[in-house]
Amino acid sequence: MRVMARPKEFDADLALDAAVTVFRDYGFEGTSAQMLVDAMGIGRQSLYDTFGDKWQLYQAAVRRYALSEVSAHREALRTGRSAIDGIRTMIKRVVAEATTPCLGVNSIAEFGCARPELSEIRAKADSTLRSALIEQVKVAQAEGEIGSDIDPDSVATFMIASFAGIRIAARGGANQAQLEALGEMTLRALR
């Protein structure tokens, strides 16, 4: 008699989204397998069968989060009548969501460059976001909204670092007015 494998009784994407939330709140080290299975609504064996061990799940969560964030940033850049409007929208988005922990920033704070697998995930996301920012800055320069003497790559580096700083400030307890001021300072630095 041949035994058929049971089909998965859960949505792997929804389970991964739940894992992202747990890792965002508690980091890799602060997250237990029990916390994950509780949040994901799956059994421990299903977690291991589908995602591998906790480290593999963490990498998948960081990858999924990075793709989602880069996509949201790029969407924000495409709003408004001018290139600077898109940049402003992106900054406002970061400020508005800053109190929700950022898995990308948190993974850097927790691991730095010690884990090549994470560095590779972050490098791909950074490259995509950086390219979009550089193009937007060039358009804003052509429109006279950003100084032509500012290097677009340096602007992208500054903005990415500013976003991390805003998110860390929020995690550290900065209030909404302080976060908005940081966002405004980021925008003003481009003039």
Share of the chain above pLDDT 90, in %: 90
pTM for the model stands at 0.90
pLDDT band for position 10 (50/70/90)? confident
- State which amino acid sits at residue 136: Q
- The answer to whether the CB of 154 falls within 8 A of the CB of 98 is no
| Domain range list for the chain | 62-188
pLDDT recorded at residue 15: 94
CATH of domain 62-188: 1.10.357.10
pLDDT digits (tens, 9 = 90+) for 69-102: 999 999 999 999 999 999 999 999 999 999 999 9
Mean pLDDT of 142-156: 95
pLDDT recorded at residue 65: 98
- The answer to whether the CB of 42 falls within 8 A of the CB of 15 is yes
- Terminal Cα-to-Cα distance of the chain (whole angstroms): 74
Helix or strand (DSSP H, E) at 115: none
Model confidence at 2: pLDDT above 80: no
pLDDT recorded at residue 8: 55
Model confidence at 119: pLDDT above 80: yes
Spatial distance between the Cα atoms of 59 and 51, rounded to a whole number of angstroms:
10
Model confidence at 3: pLDDT above 80: no
- The answer to whether the CB of 86 falls within 8 A of the CB of 136 is yes
